[in-house]
Amino acid sequence: MEIKINFTGNKKMDAVFDEYIIKCDQPLDNDGDASAPSPYDYFLASTALCAGYFVKAYCDSRNLAVEGIKLSQNNNRDTQNKYKQIIDLQIQFPESFSQKDKDGIVRAIQGCSVKKTIQEVPEFKISVI
């Protein structure tokens, strides 16, 4: 997938790929206008969204309703290393969910592509063309 970046004023940028445009900005304390999430915010949100996808897929495959499921993520930075994160996904189920389905959903979340990519430590190449 190729993602192209358009610089749209001050610290604002658009990431353009396929038929999508993702707008981002920087917070006020980083000289931005706070008009959209920062790239780092999108990165952190992607893990929660990926987990949500796997919850929904599990439920859909078993005709379980997702209503009443609460999924949240807390991101806690290590005080010694701001790049080391503890990503804490928390899920709350309605009382109607069996332990078997609760365990199955937790296993399904383990398949999250974003989580697996981070765990494999991606390689970054920067090229001048």
Q: Are 57 and 50 in contact (CB under 8 A)?
A: no
Smallest CA-to-CA distance from 87 within 70, 109, 68, 67 is with 109
CA triple 76-81-87, angle to 5 deg:
25
CATH topology for 38-124 is GMP Synthetase; Chain A, domain 3 (3.30.300)
For 99, counting Cβ atoms within 10 Å of its Cβ (0-12 exposed, 13-18 middle, 19+ buried), the class is exposed
pTM: 0.87
pLDDT of residue 54: 97
pLDDT of residue 25: 98
**Per-10-residue mean pLDDT, the chain, length 129:** 97 98 97 96 95 98 96 90 89 96 97 94 94
- Spell out the domain ranges in the chain: 1-37, 38-124
pLDDT of residue 23: 98
For 101, counting Cβ atoms within 10 Å of its Cβ (0-12 exposed, 13-18 middle, 19+ buried), the class is middle
